[in-house]
Amino acid sequence: MRLVADRVRVQVPATAGNLGPGFDALGLALGVADELDVRAVAAADVGIEIEGEGADSLPRDDTHLVVRALREALDHVGASQVGLAIRATNRIPHGRGLGSSAAAVVAGIWAARGLIAEPDALSPEVALELATRFEGHPDNAAPAILGGATVAWQDADGAHARPLVMADEIETAVLIPRSVLPTTQARSVLPAQVPHADAAFNAGRAALLVNALAGRPEDLFAATEDRLHQGYRAEVMAAAPAMIAHLRAQGIAAVVSGAGPSVLVLGTDLASHGLSTGHLAWAEGIGDESWRCVHTVERVPGAMVERL
Report cis status (omega within 30 of 0) of the bond before 195. no
Determine if residue 100 is labeled as part of a ligand binding site.
Answer: yes
Whole-number Å distance between alpha carbons of 157 and 149: 23
How many residues appear in the chain?
Answer: 308
Alpha helices in 116-182 (DSSP H): 124-135, 141-146
Q: Can you state the angle between helices 65-76 and 124-135, rounded to 10 degrees? A: 130
Whole-number Å distance between alpha carbons of 22 and 75: 33
Determine if residue 276 is labeled as part of a ligand binding site.
Answer: no
Give the number of C-alpha atoms closer than 13 A to the C-alpha of residue 142, restricted to the C-beta side. 25
The dihedrals phi and psi of 176, each to the nearest 5 degrees, come to -115, 120
Determine if residue 64 is labeled as part of a ligand binding site.
Answer: no
Determine if residue 60 is labeled as part of a ligand binding site.
Answer: no
**Taking a C-beta distance cutoff of 8 angstroms, is the pair 46, 38 a contact?**
no
Determine if residue 295 is labeled as part of a ligand binding site.
Answer: no
Whole-number Å distance between alpha carbons of 21 and 204: 9
Give counts: helices (H), strands (E), the chain.
Answer: 9, 12
Determine if residue 96 is labeled as part of a ligand binding site.
Answer: yes
**What does R_g of the chain's alpha carbons equal in angstroms?**
19
E strand segments, the chain = 7-17, 26-41, 46-52, 83-90, 149-155, 158-164, 171-177, 253-256, 263-267, 278-279, 291-296, 304-307
Determine if residue 102 is labeled as part of a ligand binding site.
Answer: yes
Determine if residue 205 is labeled as part of a ligand binding site.
Answer: no
Determine if residue 94 is labeled as part of a ligand binding site.
Answer: yes
What residues have CB less than 8 Å from 94, skipping those under 6 apart?
Answer: 53, 54, 100, 180
- Annotated binding-site residues read 93-103
- Annotated binding-site residues for ATP read 93-103
